[in-house]
Structure 1
């Protein structure tokens, strides 16, 4: 084994030859990596004149989609020879196409309680791969995804690797197809002692705990302390020391479990009495000022709420049982409609607040008006404000139908958000629940009044970040009150001009809610997306009155959290609401050395009230092997978790530092990781070679993609748009983050006949091959579907076949399409229509939305093509370099670091154009 400068050893797995694609074995002293050599002739042509504007293949990019171009001669570096996210995705899909991911198969230690025998190491599936996970005592990566699955043994090793050690935790994530409907349920609701817990660290019983003294005691895997087993929980052990009921108790054989808990875990009211858990309450606060009428928002919102509430419900299978006989709690929220047992209430507002009595037995809803915004109160009782929608169906339907006409002559232009939020807090303080606020303009009166503070002259300057911070402390104060009361706030914003998302979004950020943004709302373009997102909010799994704590093995601790939550101490995160789409990043530190020489353990405990009114603790347990070898840390690294953690970290930094500095620091982080690998795992290679570890070969591309998002990109972007995307990226899980950083793109004019059909071998949908996001790979006679989880666009080339247009839309030419309309693909009796609608439904289901809606982008015709062009990450756009140029730039920085004695400061990405020539990547050895 070769040794690096720090004396850390490297393993010797296989690598791929870039020229032939063949896999071969390393010599014993070589680690796993990709090697981009200067002296290989295939990837590059010798330096010559600058490349022409028109590429040799593909089509030219939009001239308006500007970016940075390094000066000097540019090499014709073959983009096909650099790492491709499409190839990585396809390879991962092939691995798990017909084989399930077993959650303990990456554990290699012989002495692990979970394993029982030596297990072969295996990759963890990517976040966007369709896979089936089998919970063997470790939770699936849907719930917790680690940045590496070989944990460094010492703090020194962790520092040398430069990896952001941490976890991406999405505690209510939906399970995949074939994984059952729900997380296993263990009922301790009537047990006075509750679930067995460690008497030391208070960790919950889990598959890694070991039983001793004939089953009368168990030893905690987190802190190592023994604890007595409650008499009601006692069971004898078999000859191997395992309980006889091991496979009948989900908490002993599954990595994820829901405990139904007793009154000791219930929320305490103001008098310190336990509050009986109840099904979720949903309060809708709808702006009825002049702008909501003019934009059509009020009509669309009331129509879609009515549609979601009263569509025929689907059986929830609350007490489903799997093949092992374990009882489960329902998790089929993608199929179900509105929460069973949930109650709804409605208020409307302009410069006054209107409450509606919906109590059953009334002929119609009764409106009560509170005009004093400074002294807000709720004029009706809980039983009149909140009702079961089925019990008051006629009253609610009539109210929603009549609201647009009731306020159609409203000339009041002011809207006051403070009054409705205070009313929501008063009405839900003792209940908990969810508030959905629909707002069309900057609130200028009452509590929380805001002023126009947008300064375009600050765009793209060092002071721009000041626009991303809230301007009124009232919002944080009331948001904290809501969070502690178990109330989450979702904001649906429909501004025609500046609305101060930075300040308003504090309400969602602290309470665990979400912001939905529809600038210059028009029903024809945005109505489909609005309906999908209202449906998602009202049907996804949502919990209220939530507290989260992550416990770690001795010697390991969580040092920082990133996401949307309230944190009042160093250990606990509090959420008014949390739903199945939300995730947090937990950064992990070692305090010297991990006390375990074989594995490290993590347990995430989520105390919450489910939407159907049960108080539960959801536990996710993860065990990771410990290693003393640097190469293992890199080989087992997870790119998806790493870039998600990095994203949350730098998005948080963006409100405190200039964006230029954030982008430079992001590049610096990428360089440090690759440099660490180069120093410690590939030190014998030539400095002229670009060495990328297999697990992190896409780090430069994903870093570039993050810098090209609307949250961090250079150029002039309104502060409302930036802060919306910042909030989105701070709260989403790994899959949604990866899609936003690098969209998926499908050439639909090349779909084979089997796309959209069901694979008989595994029962899954046969998907279309993806392609890399670049104009260089497109053709003028093509049709390309592109989506990033936020928007879906269909690009149609000038020379696209009329048959494709006819098969998709039932028209004969591009000129007959309406570019301002957000199209719902019509249900036509054509193969292509069926395939595209199936793909869109699948992609929408991946991010939890419903509806086959997209924007049309006709080549060199529609303004929406600029949006499309900016999503082509590999091109030169968004005030940033192309992928090829950025990869060369990163390599140049690594070369500078290797050649400098002290490893000086890494140069800024934004100021590097004047002194960087990408041809230097290859020139020396050539």
Structure 2
């Protein structure tokens, strides 16, 4: 509706101060609609936009000096430094009267003699994989509103020709969580026309690499403060490629960078001066196009600029020239520290680790035959092994002086994997026998770490430490500080902090020496995971925890062997430094994740594993005047094959001064990822209660802002709890975070379990983090006939259910999983045929609960259930191999309560149900209790 004077019967107008517009309300249906702003006349909505320039057919080469005859007035733009500063976007200045004749250099003009300027291709909008399932071409916001929803239509971003945003408001009180919403892509990035010079869909980064909490960036800091949604970047820059993904393009000829801000050329720059120069989309600097940019080195002939990968792909890799190297690329180095104390041998860890290492030697990425390895065993002494290349012989050298660690031999301790393979294989086959009768109790883990660091210090690499007990001797020794009386109190957070400064200072020394530490922890008792996890945290490593490990249980041995093998087989980045750049006016404020911040924006990452996630908070320092901003992540690294490379990930986001567009563009997955990192940080800096309060208050603030600025209720009380439809799952994800063992209110969670969970919360990629907060829940006994069979995209999964025990049936079989654990829930009235088909047992009474391996039986249902479990273990990025637990409805109470705690929409102990949580949100939003 255009104005209050044009209202149909039954409609009233209410002035909204926040948006400076009228909100029209249908008094009969409560439907609302905003007053349409006065906007420039644009093309009718039903007129299709002009097709983007095509690069097929006859191609014009754009080498330097060959374009002057075709582009008039380009020099005028270059000669006038104020021509492009401020004001409208560059695209809107083309061919405008009085614009000085300046034209943008645009590709693919139709016909030989048509030289009219174009605004460039339409922006490439993505519908990418959200990171949790299959690609779905879903509307980001729009589509069908909820039955009782309020459908509000909002203005454009103020740029003629841009698609309108549509914000759907829903009532959270009557809109229960819909698990399928987590499968949808985030709100699409709607850039102004002409922002991107490439029509390729790959010009916009898949959000699984890089995503922002707001896909429309506020123009001022005060606007950001008003919307209450934190602005943050969530990156997983080194993620695995899914089946069907194209490999990242590799560029080996020339690297084009801005002279001022050092941004790498990307699909969002503009070419000017007849194509001889390009304008930086971050700082607006004019740069010369490198001479070789339009030359195809492979064919030794002029190349097509518009086919270059860096102009069509948001994620590219460059082969780094020598000026990008402080030293020549170093080989990958692995030093394995194996605990051989009595408890380690008795648990079967030593035998399982050496066998898994032996079986996975061929999987270690070593095509160039350059990888180096070493093995150091330890209990209260250190045991080095000298391996002679070309021989099967090895010599053990014992160092019992752990107070002043030294290397007993200058050579043959760190050996080339390929050259010393026979000796290494023989050694791995003997280590178990060497220490089979070891009765020594104690752990000199700190000195072993120092020895490993000394061994690899000249090169750098990865220390893989396997520990079965609390470090008790030498540097880094720890005491058992587990105190049940502190659990659930304000002092519990002290158990989650480092008990010995060695683990921080040594980690920083390792980072400086390009050394990463991975920790594999197996203790049957207290091991102080909180202290030990500092080593991976500051060195870009990862912590893996196997409480009460016993290799006599095949499930324990299989899980560790699988995950250990995947870590060995994982290609890693070496000697990596990562820098994130953002457009002028944006500042990277704080960093979360496993790395060491070397300077204000430089992240030191000795080695980078795949699928590790990081979060960076962003502040708006100056008013953003450009129509869009750019965020670019650059990772300079050495591949495990010995080649120095540079990975660049670029994403552009539109700017807006409209609150409705900010809410419509909010990415609930990115928001909860940041909140998980912030919650862990606060629990360590303050108290666990402070962490819980922080994320709950942040959610309340978002609801209050939405109600006051986006609904008719304004600041008054409301019978509804309104929120944008694209944020529908945010409350239940926050509830899942509040109920996660990392920060849950409880006096029953051991500190080691809590500390490990916090390590996961701050490192898992979204594809693993979201199910960790909101598990998957399937009914297997009523699943569709195609579930568990193979379709076009692999095994077909059953439809996900809401996480409430209301869906459990006494005769049913259900699967609950969070990416770390799988529960198979069996109802007490399950028919004997179901038990026979799945477990090969006569009836429910003889079925035993607990950790198990499901048999594969000769019947379709068994095969389908096993296929679903197998797909569950394989479907997500990462090395994790979840245990399977059979849970009987009337079985052991601890196991049953553990499984039920995954149903986060139910009430559990002092923790509210989803309905109670939503009701308490409504009270806070309406001012009750404030």
Q: The TM-score by the shorter chain falls in which range?
A: 0.7 to 0.9
Residues 778-787 or 834-843, more deviating: 834-843
Aligned-CA RMSD value: 2.7
Structure 1 residues 172-251: aligned runs within 5 Å: 172-180=238-246, 182-188=247-253, 195-234=255-294, 245-251=304-310
Contact 2:387 2:395 in 1 (8 A): yes
Q: Distance in 1 between matches of 2:368 and 2:883?
A: 25
Shift of 1:359: 3.2
Shift of 1:488: 1.1
Name 2:175's counterpart in structure 1: 82
Name 1:859's counterpart in structure 2: 889
Choose which of 170, 174, 196 in structure 2 pairs with 1:113: 196
Name 2:89's counterpart in structure 1: none
In structure 2, do the counterparts of structure 1 residues 621 and 18 end up closer, same or farther at CA, with 3 Å as the change threshold? Answer: closer
Deviations 1:163-186 (A, max 9, x none): 011111101012232222x21111
Q: Does 1:703 align with 2:734?
A: yes
Contact 1:701 1:883 in 2 (8 A): yes
Choose which of 398, 408, 412 in structure 1 pairs with 2:440: 412
Name 2:41's counterpart in structure 1: none
Structure 1 residues 716-795: aligned runs within 5 Å: 716=747, 717-760=749-792, 763-795=793-825
Q: Does 1:147 align with 2:282?
A: no
In structure 2, do the counterparts of structure 1 residues 536 and 683 end up closer, same or farther at CA, with 3 Å as the change threshold? Answer: farther
Contact 2:202 2:313 in 1 (8 A): yes
Shift of 1:196: 1.8
Name 2:68's counterpart in structure 1: none
Shift of 1:513: 0.6
Q: Distance in 1 between matches of 2:861 and 2:387?
A: 47
Q: Distance in 2 between matches of 1:659 and 1:233?
A: 54
In structure 2, do the counterparts of structure 1 residues 613 and 338 end up closer, same or farther at CA, with 3 Å as the change threshold? Answer: closer
Contact 2:594 2:763 in 1 (8 A): yes
Q: Does 1:534 align with 2:600?
A: no
Name 1:660's counterpart in structure 2: 689
State TM-score, norm by structure 2: 0.80
Q: Does 1:253 align with 2:318?
A: no
Choose which of 376, 386, 401 in structure 1 pairs with 2:405: 376
Contact 2:819 2:882 in 1 (8 A): no
Contact 1:562 1:586 in 2 (8 A): yes
Q: Does 1:880 align with 2:920?
A: no
Q: Distance in 2 between matches of 1:843 and 1:156?
A: 44
Name 2:235's counterpart in structure 1: 169
Name 2:450's counterpart in structure 1: 422
Q: Distance in 2 between matches of 1:197 and 1:300?
A: 50
Deviations 1:321-362 (A, max 9, x none): xxxxxxxxxxxxxxx899975343211100111112233322
Secondary structure of 2:195 counterpart:
coil
Deviations 1:677-707 (A, max 9, x none): 1111113476122112112222221111101
Q: Distance in 2 between matches of 1:212 and 1:380?
A: 62
- Look at both structures and tell me which one has the larger radius of gyration over its CA atoms: 2
Q: Distance in 2 between matches of 1:226 and 1:466?
A: 53
Q: Distance in 2 between matches of 1:247 and 1:432?
A: 40
Name 1:594's counterpart in structure 2: 624
Aligned residues: 781
Shift of 1:816: 4.5
Structure 1 residues 255-334: aligned runs within 5 Å: 255-266=314-325, 268=326, 274=327, 276-310=328-362
Secondary structure of 1:285 counterpart:
strand
Contact 2:338 2:377 in 1 (8 A): yes
Contact 2:334 2:461 in 1 (8 A): yes
Name 2:376's counterpart in structure 1: 347
In structure 2, do the counterparts of structure 1 residues 15 and 186 end up closer, same or farther at CA, with 3 Å as the change threshold? Answer: closer
Q: Distance in 2 between matches of 1:735 and 1:852?
A: 15
Shift of 1:15: 7.4
Name 1:271's counterpart in structure 2: none
Unaligned runs of 5+ in 1: 38-42, 44-80, 117-133, 189-193, 237-242, 269-273, 314-335, 898-905, 908-926
Structure 1 residues 664-683: aligned runs within 5 Å: 664-683=693-712
Deviations 1:821-866 (A, max 9, x none): x333333332223223322332222133476851111112134222
Q: Distance in 1 between matches of 2:311 and 2:166?
A: 38
Q: Does 1:493 align with 2:521?
A: yes
In structure 2, do the counterparts of structure 1 residues 369 and 673 end up closer, same or farther at CA, with 3 Å as the change threshold? Answer: same
Q: Which has the higher contact order (CA 8 A, sep 6+)?
A: 1
Q: Distance in 1 between matches of 2:519 and 2:857?
A: 36
Q: Does 1:483 align with 2:511?
A: yes
Name 1:48's counterpart in structure 2: none
Contact 1:31 1:682 in 2 (8 A): no
Contact 2:514 2:605 in 1 (8 A): yes
Unaligned runs of 5+ in 2: 2-13, 24-32, 35-140, 156-164, 297-301
